[in-house]
Amino acid sequence: MNMNTAAEKVKVTLKKYLKDASHILFPAQCLICEGELPSNNLICSFCEPELLLTHFEKYNEPTALDQLFWGREQISSTYALLFYKEGSSTQQVLHQLKYKNKPETGRLFGEKIAEKWGKKLTTEKVDLLLPVPIHAKKKFLRGYNQSTMIAEGISKRIQVPIANNLAGKIQHTGSQTKRGRFSRWDNVTGNFTISNKIKQYKHIALVDDVITTGSTLEALIKAIRNVHPSVQISIVSLAVTK
Ligand SMILES: [Zn+2]
C-alpha cells in the first residue's frame, strides 16, 4: 500500500468516525414524523410514501403549473416535485426548511428534483440557476435563503452554476437614504434589484421553495426581462399548491 492510499484510508475512516459521532450527539430525525433515523437519510421509510409527488416529469400535456403562467409570462418549462396542501407532509418539509434551521433539507430535495428534472434542464441548456431572492433581513435571521439550498442540491447533480449577487429583494421604504444603500444595484423593478451581469446568461432557471399564485415569480421575471429581454426562463420549485 503506498502512502497516498494509506492517507486516503485514514481520511475515510476519520470521516466515518465523525459522521457516527455526530449521529450520537445529534441523532438524525425524520423530517416528517421526527422519529429517530438509523442512517444519514432525512425521511424514514414509513414517511417516504407519504410524500405528495406531482409526477410532473411523466406528463406529456401541460401541467397545472405550466397553466399558472399562461397569459402572464413566456416560460420555457416548469417543474415542481411536490404538491403542497395544508397539514400535508409537504408542509412539514417546508417548515423544517424555513423555520427549523435545516438547510440540508433543501439540498436533499434539490437532488431529488435533479433526479427527475435535471435531464430536461440540461437538454434545454439552462446555464444559470437563480434562487428566488429573499430580503436581506430574513436571510440574516434564517441564516440562509431556502431556495439557494434547493439550488445547491440541483447544481450538485447537473453542474449548472448558481447566481451569486445577480438579484436581490428590497423593501420600499420611500426613504432616499435607505434606497442609497442599494446603489450598487444596476436596476430596480418592483421589489427586485437585478445586476447587468445577468445579460451573459441565455437560459435561467428560477428556483423556488413553494409556488402558490405565482405572483412573486411573475414580478421577478418582469424585473429580469427589463434588464435582459431576450432571456429564456424556466421555473423549478420544491412544491406547488394543489
Ligand atoms: Zn418519518
Distance from Cα 28 to the centre of ligand 1, integer Å = 11
- Distances in Å between the Cα of 133 and the Cα atoms of 6, 116, 145, 170, 177 are 45, 24, 7, 9, 22
For the chain, give the number of residues: 242
Phi, psi for residue 15 in degrees, rounded to 5: -60, -45
Distance from Cα 31 to the centre of ligand 1, integer Å = 7
Distance from Cα 39 to the centre of ligand 1, integer Å = 12
Distance from Cα 240 to the centre of ligand 1, integer Å = 22
Distance from Cα 109 to the centre of ligand 1, integer Å = 15
**pLDDT recorded at residue 143:** 95
**pLDDT recorded at residue 228:** 97
Distance from Cα 125 to the centre of ligand 1, integer Å = 37
What does pLDDT average to in each consecutive run of 10 residues of the chain (242 residues)? 65 61 64 83 89 96 97 97 96 94 93 97 98 94 96 97 94 54 68 95 98 96 96 98 94
Distance from Cα 222 to the centre of ligand 1, integer Å = 40
Distance from Cα 144 to the centre of ligand 1, integer Å = 25
Distance from Cα 203 to the centre of ligand 1, integer Å = 37
Distance from Cα 21 to the centre of ligand 1, integer Å = 22
Nearest to 89 by CA among 59, 52, 126, 60: 52
Distance from Cα 212 to the centre of ligand 1, integer Å = 26
Distance from Cα 156 to the centre of ligand 1, integer Å = 25
What is the C-alpha separation between 224 and 187, in angstroms, rounded?
Answer: 9
Order of all β-strands in the sheet with 187-189: 167-169, 192-194, 187-189
Distance from Cα 123 to the centre of ligand 1, integer Å = 35
Distance from Cα 205 to the centre of ligand 1, integer Å = 31
Distance from Cα 233 to the centre of ligand 1, integer Å = 36
Instruction: Look up the pTM and report it.
Output: 0.85
